[in-house]
Structure formats: C-alpha cells, structure tokens
Amino acid sequence: MKFSAGALVLALAVAAPLCNAQNYPSRPIRLVITYPPGGTTDFVGRPIAQKLSEFYGQPTVVDNRGGAGGVIATMIVAQAPPDGYTLLLGTSSGMLINPLLNPALPYEAFRDFSPVSRTNINPQALVANAALPVNNVKELIAYAKANPGKLNAASSGIGTPNHLGTEMLKYLAKIDIVHVPYKGGGPAMTDLIGGQVQLQFSSIPTVLAHVKAGRIKMLAIGSAKRSPALPDVPTIAEAGVPGYEYTTWYGIFGPRGMHKDVVAQLNSAVAKALSSPDVHQRFMSQGAEPAASSPEELTRYMREESARWATLIKAAKIKVE
C-alpha cells in the first residue's frame, strides 16, 4: 500500500498530539497564579500543585505572577502552547468580572482557554467594625435606612468582587452605603479594624482570625447556603435579603486547543487532589469549599455566573474609570 507525501504529513500531524497526550506529562508542569504569594489563590494553588507532583512524578512549579488585576498571569497562559504544561489557576474576577467591566481586555474566557476543573467556591463574609451597633443583617439594614449615606463599605478596588458584593447588597436591600475603594484588601482590613470604615466583604480565610480575636464581627455570609466551616453563621439571603448570593470561585484552565485526553487526565488528577483528606481538611478549615467539576460543568457554571454579574453591573451602573 502506498501513501502520498500529503497523506503521510497529515497522518503524522494527527498522531503527534495523540502521542504527546499518551506520554503526558513527561516534564515539569507550570501552574500560573494570578496574585503574589501568601494570598487566598496561593493557599488554594500550592496544595493542588503538590498533589499533581505526587501523582505524576513530575514537578508542578507554582509561578506567582501578580499585577494588572490578574491580566498578566492570565495572558501568559492564554498565549502558551496548548500542550498541558502551562496551566492557570483562574479566578471568578479574572475570568468573568474583569472582562465584563473592561471589554477591551486582550483575552476572553470562553474563547481563549480550555477549562479543566473548578477547584473551590469561597463564600464571602460580610464583616463589620466591632463597635458598629448592629449584630445581624436585619439590624444593619434598619441602621442603614435610618442613617442613609453614613455607613462606609471598604473594598480592594472598583470592580473587584467585594465591591460588587457591596453593590448587590445595596441594590437588593435598597440601602444607601458609601463604597470606599482601597488599593488592596490589606489596607481595607486595617481601616475596618480601626473604624475608619464600618463594613467590608471578604473571603472567610482572610477574616477568620480577626473575627476569632474580636477585632471585627461577622454578620453573615454571601453564599446560597451556610458554610460547613461556619454552620452558625446565617446567609445574607436567610437573614433578610432574599435572592442574595455572592461567592467567588477558582478553577484550573489551560490554553485553548488542549488535547481532550490531556484535559481529561488533568481533570481526574485535580478531582483526586481535592478529595485527598489533607487537602479537603485544609480547605474546609478556612471556609474554602472544594468543588471539583467536569470541564463542561465549569463552562456552564461560568456562563450562569457571567449572566448574573452582567445583570448586576448594568443595574447598579458600575463602571471602571
């Protein structure tokens, strides 16, 4: 049997990715994280990277690339070869909210990436200065309505998830609270503790130590159901604002065009990592709920989240200047 030169080239082109997928991974994997070391993304990404290293017998190297609200790290992965050796720990902010607020960004989540798996969901906590004379959401709403424009809510910047969480509360509860953007969550938390601002949304791992020490108080969490890590803390919806739901999430992504067998293999490895007793306990102890998914489930979830945030951004007229 004879093959033409063109047929041989085509056969080799088809066979090469399959061969690479079958041998994957044959060298170190790079997991790019969109924020500097020490933050919540690092807390999630490093245990997963460690487990991948153990499973594969190849190092998974964490590469923290903070800057530009996650755009720098995201673009590194978007422009990488789709061979499975450069992965992104993407966030709800970087993948969905930033593009909604800034359509000029040089990437698009549904076009430029291969979803692998969601990793976790982070219920966001509504916390208050210890001296604020309210102890729950109903009291907060009553106080805000009696004192319109006198409560200040900190965020780590305009368009950040905790800013949008505040805007959602204002919109649904019909209250007047002043948004005060900071250049990062650290300075915002310092001023919340000091009383310069009275309210803030933040991830549970970020605020838990301050709440336990009595420096601030937790009024409620933003997820649709109570956190297993804080079963006595009500959700904002059950505490007086029906329909309120505000969480953040992270997920593993590769560049667009990754071979389906590599995606499937990584999906299985991430799910195994998240179900490992040590990783599961580490996450849950800090209120970061493991939430593995199939690539298809992640895509569907992202589309639902994108539509929900787009509605809020339009209704609240949120713009990034």
The pLDDT value given to residue 291: 95
CATH 3.40.190.10 domain residues, the chain: 123-221
Radius of gyration of the chain (CA): 22
pLDDT of residue 278: 96
Distance CA 195, CA 141 (A): 19
CB distance 114 to 266 below 8 Å: no
Three-class SS of 60-116: EEEEECCCHHHHHHHHHHHCCCCCCCEEEEEEHHHHHHHHHHCCCCCCCHHHHEEEE
Give ranges for CATH 3.40.190.150 in the chain.
5-122+247-315
CATH fold for domain 123-221: D-Maltodextrin-Binding Protein; domain 2 (3.40.190)
**Three-state SS for 304?**
helix
SS3 166: helix
- Per-10-residue mean pLDDT, the chain, length 321: 54 52 93 88 94 97 88 95 98 92 92 97 94 97 97 89 92 95 86 97 87 96 89 94 93 98 98 97 88 98 94 84 61
Residue position matching structure tokens 């609240």: 316
Amino acid at position 250, single letter:
Y
pTM: 0.85
* Residues whose CB falls within 8 Å of the CB of residue 254, separated by 6 or more in sequence, listed in order: 77, 80, 82, 84, 86, 87, 88, 113, 114, 116, 262, 263, 266
Beta bridge partners of 207: none
Span 5-122+247-315 CATH architecture: 3-Layer(aba) Sandwich (3.40)
Asked whether 74 and 66 are in contact (CB, 8 A), the reply is no
Which pLDDT score is estimated for 17? 52
d(CA 77, CA 90): 10
Structure confidence at residue 18 (pLDDT)? 52
CA 272 distance to own-chain centroid: 20
Q: Would you say 163 and 179 are in contact if contact means Cβ atoms under 8 Å apart?
A: yes
pLDDT at position 205: 79
